[in-house]
Each structure stands twice: as C-alpha cells, then as structure tokens.
Chains A and B, each alone.
Chain A
Amino acid sequence: MPLIGALPQPITSAPLVLFVYLVLILLLGSALASVLVRNMLYGIGAFAASMVLVALLYLAIAPFLLVAVQLLVFTTVSAALLFGLLRATTGLRTSSVGRLSPEWIVGAAVCAVMFALFAVVLGATGWPVQACCAVPDSLGAALGNTYAVGLAVLAVIIGSAALGSGFLLMAPTLPSPRGGGSMSSRSPRGGGTRPVNR
C-alpha cells in the first residue's frame, strides 16, 4: 500500500480555470493598488477588495467554512479596524451625499442584485465549489477535535491583542488628539503643509 496516493489533479474545468485566473489577476492588481496608492481611503478600499477576492479564490480551492470566515470575519474586521483608525485620526468625513439620495439607492440595489445572483448561482448549482471536485468538508470537526489546543491558544492571542490595543489607545501619558484634522498637517517647522500619506 503506497504511503501517498495519487496526486490531486489540477483544476481543468474551463469556466473554473477562467474564474481562478480572473480572480488572481484582480487580486494582485488590487493588492498593488492598495500598497501604492497615495490616498489612504482608497488604499483601504483596495485592501478590502483584495480580502474579498481572496475569499472568492478560496471558494474554488478550499472548504466553504474558510470562505465564510475569510469573507465575513477577516475582511469585515480588518476593514472596520482600518476605517475606525481613519475616523479617529485624520477624520473620515461623512459623505456629502444624503442617505436617501438616488446614488445610495442605486448602489444598494446593484449590490443586492449582485448578492442575490451570487446566492442563487451558488445555491442552485454549487458552482464553483462542487465543480472543483473533492474538497474535504470536515474542517469544523478537525478544528474542534484535532486542533483544540491551537484554538485555545488562538483565543488567548486574540484576547491579549484586544486587551493590548485597548490599553495602548487609553494610554494616559500621551497627548490627546487635537481634534479632527484633514489629510494634510502643518509641518513642525512652520513651513507649509505636508501630506500625511507617504
């Protein structure tokens, strides 16, 4: 009996291969934009898009639990932390567009339609999860049984990080923020403004 069985075959289904290539190209492009763009707000938006694209890539090659966690937890938490930082420091100004303006309504409608289409395709056909064949589906059991100690350590690490960041933000000896500013600040030597995002 061989110790290692036959190697898993690469993805050969044409639509799935196209999907993987497209997602990879978009992922690398948005990652590059996120690192290189000067406007921090756009950079964080590109970062969030990259995280969503990673989740889409996982959809083709990984168990669905990882897709859900990547999409619902990692992406939202990272984006929320980054936007929270911007709001607390450089002052993330609210949009001048009203909440019930046509722009928001059209945007929300497009997002809802895209999400519904995605859910229908995923629910009705199982594509691309089923199309890429034998993906193991026992991740939850493996996490609970095999990696229970790892999960416990992870919980301790996350708790420590939350406590540490909270204590850092509440540091009493540091000067308090001097009000919300703009994306540029005055130089300490009084020589005009300089961009914050470098």
Chain B
Amino acid sequence: MSAGLNLLLVASAALFSIGALGVVARRSAVVMLLGTQFMFVAGALAFVSFARFGLGALHGTAGATMALFAGAIAVAELAVGLALAALVYREHRSFALDADRG
C-alpha cells in the first residue's frame, strides 16, 4: 500500500466536487463562500501533489509557492465575499442570495 500522486489527485478532485456542491446546491452566501474556499484548497493540493510526486518535482518549491499564493488569494476573496454577505444580511435579514425573490 502506498500514497502517491493518484491518491492525492483523487482527493483533490473530490474536494473540488464538494466545494462545487456547496456553491451550486446551497443558497446561503456563507456556505457558497466556504465552497469556493474548498475549491481553492483542492487546486492548491493538486499543485503540491504534482510538485511532490509528479514530473515537475525537480522544481519542488514551485508547487508549494503556488499553494501559498492560492491560499492568500482565497483569504482575500473570503474577506470581500464576507463583506458582501454582511451587506446582503443587512438588506434582507438573511444570508440567502435569492431572498428578494417572491
């Protein structure tokens, strides 16, 4: 039994799918933001996995660097998204993004 690139890529794809499920299936802005965070993390995990186990492993720091950048961008996106979610809540007293529908 071993843990290599295939396992981590499958896990990354599963994590991305869970994030996409959160974005598509839920109406709460906060849960949607959590879903996008999981999608960012899945991409970062794929970068790190390729850097550790893949053909590009000669430049092993590149994957971790991309993961750092992706994480920082995800945090910035979360900050802006949560500010928008707070505005939605002030307006509708709900995090549901379709709260103004009839």
Contacts and interface: CB of A to CB of B under 8 A. Distances in A.
Interface of A: 4-5, 7-12, 14, 16-17, 20-21, 24, 27-28, 31-32, 34-35, 40, 43-44, 47, 50-51, 54, 57-58, 60-63, 65-66, 69-70, 73-74, 77-78, 81-82, 84-85, 88-90, 135-136, 138-139, 142-143, 146-147, 150, 154, 157-158, 160-162, 164-166, 168-169, 171, 174-178, 181, 185-186, 194, 196-198
A165 B82 contact: yes
**Taking chain A's interface residues, is the majority helix, strand, or loop, or is none over half, making it mixed?**
helix
17 contacts: A17-B2, A17-B3, A24-B7, A31-B19, A40-B31, A43-B30, A43-B31, A43-B34, A61-B8, A65-B64, A78-B37, A81-B82, A82-B30, A89-B86, A157-B72, A169-B87, A175-B90
A79 to B, nearest CB: 10
Interface in B25-47: 25-28, 30-31, 34-35, 37-38, 41, 45
A148 B40 CA distance: 22
B71 A136 contact: no
A7 B53 CA distance: 7
B39 to A, nearest CB: 11
Nearest to B23: A35
A35 B61 contact: no
